[in-house]
Amino acid sequence: MRYAMIMAGGSGTRLWPMSRAGEPKQLIRFIRRPGSDQLVSLLEVAAQRLEGVVPVERRYICTGEGHREVIRDRLPDFTDDRILGEPLPRDTVNAVGFAAAVFGKLDPEAVFAVLTADHLI
């Protein structure tokens, strides 16, 4: 089955001073939703990109443990078990390896896509 993992780790130091440890760039709401005055974050845009591609129950987010609560509040479709909290930030390859281990336990035939939460397409 198809799965997707959005990488939403990091502290967004290149967007300083707007981005801080408590609110990294992927969580800052600075993108105007088309046709609306509502502002959304890069993570919210990345999650929306998966609609119609991967079923909601097979979408995951990998983030720092300290950001799980705000992500859960902003993206209620992502249940606690699908917000993977990294105990320590260890960059891309470890986040992908972590997701591969989780998906491998869930489904030995899993195929998954890795998306980043800090790209605007």
pLDDT in tens, 8-27: 987 666 766 666 666 788 88
Residue 73: what pLDDT? 93
How far does CA 48 lie from the centroid of its chain?
11
Task: Confirm if 5 and 112 have CB atoms less than 8 A apart.
Answer: yes
Number of domains forming the structure of the chain: 1
Question: Does residue 84 form part of some domain?
Answer: yes
Do you find a cis peptide bond into 76, omega within 30 degrees of 0?
no
Do you find a cis peptide bond into 17, omega within 30 degrees of 0?
yes
**How far is it, in rounded angstroms, from Cα 53 to Cα 55?**
7
**What is this structure's pTM?**
0.88
- Can you name the residues that pair with 84 across neighbouring β-strands? 62
Question: Does residue 121 form part of some domain?
Answer: no
Residue 21: what pLDDT? 64
Q: Which domain holds residue 60?
A: 2-116
CATH of the domain at 32: 3.90.550.10
Token pair of 109, please?
A: 């035939």
